[in-house]
């Protein structure tokens, strides 16, 4: 009985060692597998495209708003004569289509005349359709250019670029703030003055007023940190200074200067 017991225990010891080795092997395999196919946990880069700020999204590119306006004005003039041409044609088309009917009903020997009239009517109709299409096309293109260029920025004439930069910064702050927002009091509010140097780097941020909600302050600071990674340089290499009012409902800019 004793010999049996000891033999059983040595078997157990061997299988303990084997089990440990297998576990180590599996662990190393997993590590190796992770190295071979790393889990991609990086946060994906966000590309900001918003209609309001599109023309001044990159203030270094000059004043695209002005250029857009001039480019837009160009198309309408040719549209006017085309419309004028198409409009008087409408009744003519009705008359042309009515004429052959009357003729064929009146005398059968006037067939050649009728055919001629019909051909003329067809040509007229196709010409009309073509011109109508051209007008529609012009209208459409006009609508399109108007939509991308001016809609959403009614006040921007291209001269107030500082204000557009501020709006851009506000938009970035808003996006970041949506991710970090948290507060523990009822109506937290915080006013922060931001200084951005000519390279687009946040140099200083000053808390001008705060409602005293610590969680909200931290959230605002984190939002500013997050947003400042993506600030573009201000236009004309000027320093930017802006005051922003942070509330749980959103961010409103107050002109600093």
Partner 1 sequence: MALLTGTGLIVKIVLLILIGFSVISWAIIMFKLFQVHRANSESVRFMDFFWKSKRFDAIASQVDRFASSPLTVLFNEGYGELKKVVEGGGVSEGSALSTDLGGVENVSRALRRATNSEITRLEKYLTFLATTGSTSPFIGLFGTVWGIMTAFEGIGRTGSASLAVVAPGIAEALIATAIGLVAAIPAVMAYNHFQHKIRVLIKEMDNFSTEFLNIVQRNIAGK
Shortest reach from residue 183's CB to partner 1, in Å: 8
Q: Can you tell me the distance from the alpha carbon of 114 to that of 102, in angstroms, rounded to the nearest whole number?
A: 9
**Contact track, partner 1, 27-46, x by CB under 8 A:** ----x--x------x-x---
Which range touches partner 1 (CB under 8 A), out of 19-27, 48-56, 62-70, 200-208? 19-27
Give the residues across from 244 on adjacent strands.
192, 253
Q: Can you tell me the distance from the alpha carbon of 77 to that of 6, in angstroms, rounded to the nearest whole number?
A: 106
| Distance between start and end Cα atoms, the chain | 97
DSSP 152: T
Residue 142 within binding range of partner 1, rule CB under 8 A? no
Both tokens of 42, joined, read 């990086």
Number of residues located near partner 1, criterion CB under 8 A:
28
Instruction: Please tell me the total number of residues recorded for the chain in this structure.
Output: 257
Which range touches partner 1 (CB under 8 A), out of 9-17, 52-60, 148-156, 163-171? 9-17
CB 100 within 8 A of CB 117: yes
Q: Is 125 exposed, middle or buried (0-12, 13-18, 19+ CB in 10 A)?
A: middle
Residue 219 within binding range of partner 1, rule CB under 8 A? yes
Shortest reach from residue 243's CB to partner 1, in Å: 23
Residue 210 within binding range of partner 1, rule CB under 8 A? no
Shortest reach from residue 7's CB to partner 1, in Å: 9
Which range touches partner 1 (CB under 8 A), out of 10-18, 74-82, 101-109, 116-124? 10-18
Nearest to 178, CA basis, from 244, 223, 212? 223
Please give the residue ranges that form the binding site for partner 1 (CB under 8 A).
1, 4-5, 8, 11-12, 14-16, 18-20, 22-23, 31, 34, 41, 43, 179-182, 214-216, 218-219, 222
């Amino acid at each position: 009985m004793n010999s049996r017991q000891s033999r059983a225990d040595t078997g157990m010891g061997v299988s303990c060692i084997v089990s440990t080795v297998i576990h180590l092997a599996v662990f190393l395999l997993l590590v190796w597998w992770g190295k071979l196919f790393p889990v991609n946990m990086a946060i994906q880069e966000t590309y900001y495209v918003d209609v309001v700020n599109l023309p001044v999204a990159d203030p270094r590119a000059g004043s695209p708003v002005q250029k857009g306006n001039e480019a837009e004005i160009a198309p309408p003039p040719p549209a006017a004569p085309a419309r004028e041409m198409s409009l008087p044609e409408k009744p003519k088309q009705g008359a042309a289509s009515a004429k052959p009917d009357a003729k064929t009903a009146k005398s059968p020997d006037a067939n050649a005349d009728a055919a001629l009239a019909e051909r003329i009517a067809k040509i007229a109709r196709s010409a009309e359709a073509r011109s109508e299409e051209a007008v529609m096309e012009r209208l459409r293109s006009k609508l399109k250019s108007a939509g991308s260029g001016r809609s959403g920025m009614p006040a921007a004439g291209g001269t107030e670029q500082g204000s557009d930069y501020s709006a851009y910064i506000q938009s970035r702050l808003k996006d970041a703030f949506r991710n970090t927002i948290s507060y523990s009091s009822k109506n937290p509010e915080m006013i922060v003055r931001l200084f951005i140097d000519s390279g687009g780097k946040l140099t200083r941020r000053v808390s001008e007023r705060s409602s005293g909600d610590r969680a909200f302050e931290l959230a605002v600071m984190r939002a500013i940190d997050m947003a400042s990674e993506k600030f573009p340089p201000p236009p004309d290499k000027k320093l930017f200074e802006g005051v922003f009012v942070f509330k749980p409902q959103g961010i409103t800019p107050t002109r600093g200067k």
